Amino acid sequence: MVIDNIHVYGLENAIRGSKFPMATNIEKLNSDITKTTISLGSSPIGAAHDNFLNGILVQFDLTFTVKAWTEAERYHFFDFISSQSTMHRIAKFDLDNQYIGYVDPEIIKIMNKLKDEYNSIPDDPEHLDEKKKAYLTLLYSNPCGFKLTAAMTTNYRQLKTIYHQRKNHRLPEWREFCKQIEQLPKFKELVLGE
DSSP per-residue string spanning 142-160: --TTBEEEEEEEEEHHHHH
CB contact at 8 A, 18 and 75: no
Spatial strand order of the sheet with 3-9 comes to 3-9, 57-65, 147-155, 79-83
Q: Quote the pLDDT of residue 48.
A: 84
Q: What percent of the chain has pLDDT over 70?
A: 100
**Mean predicted confidence (pLDDT) in 130-135:** 97
**Mean predicted confidence (pLDDT) in 70-89:** 91
Residue 78: which pLDDT band, with cuts at 50, 70 and 90?
A: confident
**What whole-number distance in Å separates Cα of residue 87 and Cα of residue 95?**
15
User: Residues 110-148, buried b or exposed e (16+ Cβ, 10 A)?
Assistant: ebeebbeebeeeeeeeeeeeebeebbeebeeebbebbbb
Residues 6+ away with beta carbon under 8 Å from 122: 131
Q: Quote the pLDDT of residue 77.
A: 85
Q: Poorest-confidence range of 51-55, 74-78, 177-181?
A: 74-78
* 82-116 pLDDT, tens digit each: 999 999 999 999 999 999 999 999 999 999 999 99
**Mean predicted confidence (pLDDT) in 19-32:** 93
Q: Which residue has the higher pLDDT, 114 or 74?
A: 114
- Cβ-based neighbour number of residue 89 at 10 Å: 10
**Mean predicted confidence (pLDDT) in 176-183:** 97
Q: Quote the pLDDT of residue 1.
A: 74
The H-or-E segment that residue 8 falls in is: strand 3-9
Instruction: Report phi then psi at 149, rounded to 5.
Output: -115, 140
**What whole-number distance in Å separates Cα of residue 68 and Cα of residue 144?**
8
**Mean predicted confidence (pLDDT) in 148-174:** 96
- Decide: residue 88, CB within 10 A, 0-12 exposed, 13-18 middle, 19+ buried: exposed
DSSP 58-118: EEEEEEEEHHHHHHHTT-TT-EEEEE--HHHHTTTS-HHHHB-TTS-HHHHHHHHHHHHHH
Residue 76: which pLDDT band, with cuts at 50, 70 and 90?
A: confident
Residues forming a β-bridge with 83: 150
Mean pLDDT of the chain: 95
Q: Quote the pLDDT of residue 75.
A: 87
Q: Does residue 121 have a pLDDT over 80?
A: yes
**Mean predicted confidence (pLDDT) in 35-43:** 93
Q: Does residue 194 have a pLDDT over 90?
A: no
**Mean predicted confidence (pLDDT) in 32-40:** 93
